[in-house]
Every structure is written in structure tokens, then in C-alpha cells.
Structure 1
């Protein structure tokens, strides 16, 4: 809906939205983030929810975002129907409302595919870990800018709205400026896979000059950061803890961006609340959250990839202990080592380990090649030597 369309429908429901910025004339109306009881959460599938810790900005208390929010101490959790109240050490009270953090779509199918070359496959199996690449060193440098451009377009509507408080506009603007101008200081790492088992587009990228492989993984396995430091992890506001789908359709991206913005507006710290962290710290947290969500948007021309991602952020000195470095075509690039844990860690927000858990590879698909039989034999023997019982199959795709 455009601003003009919104204006034509504004007369009937403006009474529920008091004017918070009399100097503005736009009609964009913020909606509060979805809130659920614990009973609703455990029956609604896997979600990321929070009542914010005292170190984070607070969540809105009223049902309608009429005024600047108050704040409430609590916890942030990843929730699924598999966990029970007693597994949270008493942190949950069934009657308490929780704010659902806007997240990209979950992966519904039972397998995702990580495409790589021979060296990548050997390193993954030998180390039982994947490499999450720094966002600044991704192959497509415009990916990050595309997602941010969606947020910038939505911000223009918010900034002109008379229904959004000037302090909320200022907070959102500061978050957007940090996300746009200081992205190199926000360490974002991305692990990529695809919903497509046998993708010609992916094979062209990985088998042009060498053998290519697609590693079949269970998307329910929990991604964990592997580091010798015990307390590494990602920002408490990461929108998703696991594989999630990339959005390609412009209308889906706008909806996701507006949901994210509504959450940020509702979490604006009150400048008179002395119990909160400094404004700049709150901005840093939500700018990182905005950058993270930007990673789940790609131009529609890439839709054939059907990409899924795990996105991790490292914003503290402790988190930086987990970062390693390797040589790439783009110079010396930072990365995180990511293991996949098949245990049920759904109740944990930040999952980490000093040692990678045993890697469970479901299948290895050998890419198109004139020597595919030889490649299959080599992979089977290699996997067997590392006690991997994954099945090995060959691609039905041909370059010709």
C-alpha cells in the first residue's frame, strides 16, 4: 500500500492512532510486535521471542504503540514445541506475554544443500565444521546494500508519518546510519546452503574449474560457533538461530523490513529512563539486528538459487575471540567455524562449543563431470575413512 492509498483509508481509523509528530503529514501507522503467552508459543512452531534483559532496550508494554515504551527485565529464548517450562530453569511463567522477534521464514523441508569444491568438502569433514564467511568478503558485494535499500525506502515512510514519535524516528535513523556507514565494524558472518538438491546454477559456480559437491544436511541440526573461548556467541537480538530462507520477492522483503522496523520502534529506549544502557549502545544492538535481517534479502534475479542461510553476529570483544582468518580471492578474510549439533538445544539463545560436535552428513551429491565415476569412488572412500556413513549419489544435471 502506498502512502497515498494509506491516506485514503486513514479517515476511518485515525482515532486509534494519536498524532505523535504534529510537524509530519504522512499516514504510515506502526503496529506493535506480536505478543504471545507461553502456552501459545509452544503450540505455534519454532520462534525467537524475548522479554529483554536489563542490558538491552525494553519492549513495548501497551497493546497499541501510542506512547514511548516502558521496560521490563527478562530473557530472550528460542522456542519450539519440543521444550517444556521446567527446561528453562524457572525463567518462564506461562501467563507472561512474550514479544516475538521478526524472523525470516523457517526451513520446512528435511534437507538443505551446501555446495562446495573438493578442498571445501575435505576441510568440512576433517574439521567437522563449516566456515561462515564475513559479510564484507561475500562473492556478491551488493547483497548487503540491497537489503539496506529496502530498509531505507521503508524509513522514508516512517519519517514522514505523524503517528510515529520524533524520538522513535531519531532512534531508527541512528540505527540505519550505523548499519549503512559502519557496517565494517559490525562483524556479520554468513553460512549459505540451498533448498535445491541438484541446481545447475550452483554447479556452474562450483564445478567450472574443479569437481563440485553438494553436502546434504538436516536443517534441524543447531548451528554452533566453535571456538577455544568458552563464552563466544552472537548478539541477543539475532532474529534467527538456525537455517532460514532468503527472501527474493520485493513484496516479501518490504513486509519483513516493516515488521523489523515496527519491532525497533517499539523497542526505542526512553531517554529519561536511567536504568537503560547509553543510547549509543542501544543503537549498536539494533543496528546489528537490522544488518542481520538485511542478509536475508537478495535481488529477485537470484531466485533460482533458493538460498537458505545461517547468520551470526560478533559485536563484543569476547565474541571476537571466535574469529579466525584465511586467505581468499579478496585478501585476508575473517570467518567463524560453525559446527552442527543434532542435540535438542532449542531453549538456548547462544549456542557455542570449544570442540565441534560430531558432524552428521546425510548425503553427498557429486556434481556433473566427465569423470563422475572416479569422483564418486574417491568421495566414498574418503567419507569411510572418517566414519561418515552418508550416501553418495551423482548429479543428474548436465552442462550440455
Structure 2
């Protein structure tokens, strides 16, 4: 496995339990091993459960890491975006909750909440209370667990749906990058302690549900432990908090690899940056979406590997001669040699409205 691709597993190991869920206020301000009121063997049981849960996610993440980066990845945009990306040499990393799919990360988290609620009805009476608490926490706080920023690329540089959605209704452009080159440039960046990773998005709801079922079933046997030991209410609450934290980390970690099946045609290759909640965000900028402000960071790919840019695809509804000239002028404006970047027209027969 190439060093630059060993980051999907490392990503959430770096963002440890307390850090990623600090905003939930369910960690008690201490790591689980230093908890004074929960018996040590019960804390060890949580740690063992967490390790088993992490192994389930690691198995899937390892499959992602074992896949080579695609030969090319494409970023769809309009004429303004093309000029901006080439002149600045930067691609936006957008707040994941401001993307085209409003559920995004919540899509995966909701699966886990539904499974936990269903399983809780079959288990110890305390499991229902645990499930209700976990669902409240995840439903209301997942956006505050950490800062998630993504740059969305596609393995398909000529997809009709993406021309319509992101390529100015077929009049825009798709920038084609060498997949391995741009991923290496992104993953090797580790500014301010951020976690960067690149991986293909998976569109398989059944697989995600299966993974979350494994996680929930690992946790359920532990929920009755405080009651069988006649612990105090304070100790029981602390135990439930710690168990919630550990389950939450694995649920979020699994969800990050998936997207709703409705977007399968996009063949997304995702560049993900996760920032801990306590890290500064003074570098962030904003763009408008209706009456909303969407946060974004910037990935300076040009400084790190200018040669990652391989081609520009012209949208199927664009005037080819005008678009070729425009693309050439944009390349010159960005300091690129137009003779070293392929410019070609989409092969899709398409007429915009």
C-alpha cells in the first residue's frame, strides 16, 4: 500500500474520541480510562467493544486504501469557476453540510439511529433509554462534532447528470486531473493538524446498514451492565456517556464513506478534510447559496503539483470554438502552457434549454 493512501484508517485514529465529540458535551471532560466513578472492568469492556467496532470499520476502510487512485478525476464547473481555479490554482473544500445533498453525512448517521432503535426494542429495557439518548445526540449534534470539508471530483469526465447539475447546464467545463498526483498533493498536506484523506464514495445503503448493524450489536450487550451491578445513578450515567461516545465515533467514521444511492451516477471521488472543533477556522471563506452562507476552505493544488492538471473537457452544450478559445485564455491567465493540457469536447449529444 502506497504511503499516501494509508490515511483513511489513520484519519479517525488521529481525531480521537474526546476531540471529535467534544461539542456533544457527553465526554465528561476526561478520557474514558481516567473516569473515577465507573468500575475499571466496565471501562475496559467499553474499550474492548470500541476496538471491535473499530475493526469492523477498519476492514472496510482497508478496502478503500487498497484501491489505487483512479487514472483521472474530474471537477465540473462553469466558465467563472474554470478561470478562478486556473488563476488561483485552488479548489474549494466545501462544508459537507452545504453540499447538493442536504442530508450528506446525516444520511449515514440516520441509518445507525434507526437500527439502534429497532434493536433496542428486542433487548434489555435500558437499551431503549440508551437508544433514545443516542438518537437525540446524533440527530442534533452531528454537525457540531467536527468541521467536515470536501472537494468533490468524479471518475467520469463526461456524465450528462453532472453537466446539468454542476457544469452550467452543459455549457461549462470539467477539469481533468491525474488521480494519483492530485490525491498525493492533498493527502500529504497536514496544515494545522488537519486530517486529509482521499477515497471513492460508496453508494450502497444495504452495505452501510449492515456495517451499522454490526456496530449496534457490539454495543447492546454492554448496556445492561450498570443495572446488573447496582451502580449509582451518577456512575450509570457516566457509563452510558462513555459508551455513547465510542459508538458515535464509529458510526460517524463509517458514514463518511457513503452517500445516498440516488447520486450513484456521479461516481464521486472525495477529498475530505476534518478539523477538530477546537482548531482555528480563520482561513475559511464564504459563498452564498440563496440566502445562506456556505463555508469553504481552499486546497492549493497548483503550488503542490502544477502538472496534476491533464485536460479540460468542454460541455456538450457549449460552442466548441468559443469554448476552446476561452479555455486556452484561462490556461494562459493561470500560467499554464496550453500545449501541455488537452482540451476536448464532450461526446454527449445534448442541447441545453
Compute the TM-score of the two structures, normalised by the length of structure 2. Answer: 0.66
Alignment deviations for residues 102-131 of structure 1 (CA, whole Å, 9 cap, x no partner): 538356421111111111122222222211
**Corresponding residue number in structure 1 for 2:36:** none
Q: Size of the alignment, in residue pairs?
A: 300
Alignment deviations for residues 350-384 of structure 1 (CA, whole Å, 9 cap, x no partner): xxxxxx52442122111112411211122123213
Q: Which runs of 5+ in 1 are unaligned?
A: 1-40, 60-66, 72-96, 235-240, 342-355
**Corresponding residue number in structure 1 for 2:109:** 148
**Corresponding residue number in structure 2 for 1:6:** none
C-alpha distance in structure 2 between counterparts of 1:263 and 1:131, whole Å: 38
**Corresponding residue number in structure 1 for 2:151:** 191
**Corresponding residue number in structure 2 for 1:395:** 346
Alignment of 1:76-225 (within 5 A): 100=58, 102-103=60-61, 105=64, 108=68, 109-156=70-117, 158-159=119-120, 170=130, 176-186=135-145, 187-208=147-168, 211-220=171-180, 221-222=183-184, 223=186
Q: Which is helix-richer, 1 or 2?
A: 2
Secondary structure, counterpart of 1:311 in structure 2 = strand
Alignment of 1:35-54 (within 5 A): 46=6, 48-49=9-10, 50=13
Alignment deviations for residues 216-250 of structure 1 (CA, whole Å, 9 cap, x no partner): 123332326989xx52414xxxxxx4332222233
Task: Please report how far the alpha carbon of residue 157 of structure 1 lies from its aligned counterpart in structure 2 after TM superposition.
Answer: 5.2
**Corresponding residue number in structure 2 for 1:24:** none
Q: Does 1:68 align with 2:57?
A: no
Q: Does 1:361 align with 2:309?
A: yes
Secondary structure, counterpart of 1:243 in structure 2 = strand
**Corresponding residue number in structure 2 for 1:313:** 274
Alignment deviations for residues 37-60 of structure 1 (CA, whole Å, 9 cap, x no partner): xxxx889x846255997977689x
Q: 1:290 to 1:313 in 2, by over 3 A?
A: farther
Q: Which runs of 5+ in 2 are unaligned?
A: 20-30, 34-43, 49-54, 232-237
C-alpha distance in structure 2 between counterparts of 1:121 and 1:263, whole Å: 48
C-alpha distance in structure 2 between counterparts of 1:357 and 1:285, whole Å: 36
C-alpha distance in structure 2 between counterparts of 1:384 and 1:127, whole Å: 12
Q: 1:152 to 1:367 in 2, by over 3 A?
A: same
**Corresponding residue number in structure 1 for 2:198:** 243
Secondary structure, counterpart of 2:336 in structure 1 = coil
Secondary structure, counterpart of 1:297 in structure 2 = coil
Q: 1:70 to 1:295 in 2, by over 3 A?
A: closer
Q: 1:381 to 1:259 in 2, by over 3 A?
A: farther
Q: CA RMSD in A?
A: 4.6
Is the 8 Å Cα contact of residues 74 and 174 (structure 2) preserved in structure 1? yes
Which structure is higher in RCO with an 8 Å CA cutoff and minimum separation 6? 2
Q: 1:53 to 1:314 in 2, by over 3 A?
A: closer
Secondary structure, counterpart of 1:335 in structure 2 = strand
Task: Please report how far the alpha carbon of residue 328 of structure 1 lies from its aligned counterpart in structure 2 after TM superposition.
Answer: 2.9
Secondary structure, counterpart of 1:308 in structure 2 = strand
